């Protein structure tokens, strides 16, 4: 039994040159990052996902954060136009794989910008973060594309944080885990549980009661377990040094 496809992209040899915006730059251990990525892929496989790799892009330091290049919703792949121009060469590799997977492909076009990390899908609602990377035109284009799938798109203002999913994600029951100081929570329709560690608002529901989260969020792992879910914990320290989190390293395509 497979739950669907999990797109991933192995880290570039230039990973350490990845962008940092809201944190101080610190040294990235590439060998450790590669081992952590292997363990991340293994966690997805173990949870029942068929891992499919986008070809590595060594010239793109941030390409491991594959989530930012595509938004997938009910058989539709919206190829993004990342807000950071230096990340746009990541796009063709992702597009090739989603086409091969048989998804319908549409695009965010200039002057629109949209990063997949700014898009959080919860039931029929799609929240889109308005911070540094996604602009109003990008939100409008996404809204038009996802209207074909009956989705409602709601913009959410971000504060000092890179992406919407750096500040809020959803548990399998649709409740949200968030750090309220990082975003305008009045836009959110689902109940919000406040966490007390930044990595705690980054979770990926893997199906059934499984919830993927980072080793740097031990109190949230305990909360998740206390709520009756099963935490799947991975160490992604080298990606966190580049403002990455567990969501950014994959794109889950259920049923594919």
Ligand X SMILES: CN(C)C(=N)NCCC[C@H](N)C(=O)O
Task: Give CA separation, 54 vs 34, 86, 95, in Å.
Answer: 15, 18, 9
Q: Which of 86/148 has CB closer to ligand X?
A: 86
Is 158 a binding residue for ligand X by CB under 6 A? The answer is no
With respect to ligand X, which residue has the nearer C-beta, 84 or 122? 84
The interface region with ligand X, picked from 31-39, 65-73, 101-109, 134-142 by CB under 6 A, is 65-73
User: Closer CB to ligand X, residue 3 or residue 202?
Assistant: 202
Q: How far apart are CA 17 and CA 70, in angstroms?
A: 22
Could you tell me if 152 and 124 are in contact, meaning their C-beta atoms sit under 8 angstroms apart? yes
> Which of 163, 201, 202, 245 is an active site residue?
163
Which residue has its beta carbon closest to ligand X? 117
153, 201, 248, 256: which one binds ligand X (CB under 6 A): 248
| Secondary structure element (H or E) that encloses residue 143, with its range | helix 136-147
Q: Distance (Å, rounded) from C-alpha 179 to C-alpha 218?
A: 15
CA distances from 12 to 17, 57, 179, 242 (A): 10, 6, 30, 13
Binding mask 80-99 for ligand X (x = CB under 6 A): ----x--x------------
Q: Is 162 in the site for ligand X (CB under 6 A)?
A: yes
Q: Would residue 163 show up in a list of annotated catalytic residues for this protein? A: yes
CB of 248 to ligand X, least distance (A): 3
Beta-carbon count within 10 A of 72 CB:
22
Minimum distance, C-beta of residue 88 to ligand X, in the bound complex (Å): 11
Residue 228 C-beta: closest distance to ligand X, Å: 26
Of 11, 93, 112, 117, the residue at the interface with ligand X (CB under 6 A) is 117
Three-class SS of residue 212? strand
Nearest distance from residue 82's CB to ligand X, in Å?
7
Q: In this complex, which beta carbon is closest to ligand X, that of residue 15 or of residue 210?
A: 15
Beta-bridge partner residues of 71: 78
Residue 233 CA to residue 138 CA, distance in Å, equals 33
Cα dist from 58 to 15, 32, 169, whole Å:
8, 17, 29
- Residues with a known catalytic role: 163, 248
Name the site residues for ligand X (rule: CB under 6 A): 18-19, 21, 62, 65, 67-68, 84, 87, 117, 162-163, 165-166, 242-245, 247-248
């Amino acid at each position: 039994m497979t739950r669907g496809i999990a797109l991933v992209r192995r880290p570039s040899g230039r990973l350490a040159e990845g962008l940092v915006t809201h944190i101080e730059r610190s040294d990235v251990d590439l060998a450790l990052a590669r081992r952590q990525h292997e363990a991340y892929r293994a966690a997805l496989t173990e949870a029942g996902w068929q891992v499919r790799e986008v070809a590595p892009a060594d010239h793109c330091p941030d390409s491991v954060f594959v989530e930012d290049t595509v938004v997938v919703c009910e058989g539709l792949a919206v190829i993004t136009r990342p807000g950071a121009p230096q990340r746009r060469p990541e796009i063709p590799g992702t597009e090739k794989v989603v086409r091969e997977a048989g998804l319908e492909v549409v695009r965010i076009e200039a002057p629109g910008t949209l990063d997949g990390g700014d898009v959080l899908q919860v039931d029929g609602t799609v929240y889109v973060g308005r911070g540094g990377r996604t602009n109003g035109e990008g939100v409008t284009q996404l809204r038009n594309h996802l209207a074909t799938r009956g989705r409602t798109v709601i913009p959410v203002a971000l504060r000092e944080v890179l992406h919407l999913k750096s500040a809020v994600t959803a548990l399998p029951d649709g409740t949200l885990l968030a750090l309220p100081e990082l975003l305008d929570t009045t836009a959110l329709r689902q109940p919000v549980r406040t966490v007390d560690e930044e990595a705690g608002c980054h979770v990926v529901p893997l199906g059934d009661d499984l919830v993927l989260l980072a080793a740097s969020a031990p109190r949230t792992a305990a909360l998740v377990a206390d709520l009756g879910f099963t935490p799947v914990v991975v160490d992604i320290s080298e990606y966190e040094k580049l403002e990455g989190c567990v969501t950014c390293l994959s794109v889950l395509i259920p049923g594919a």
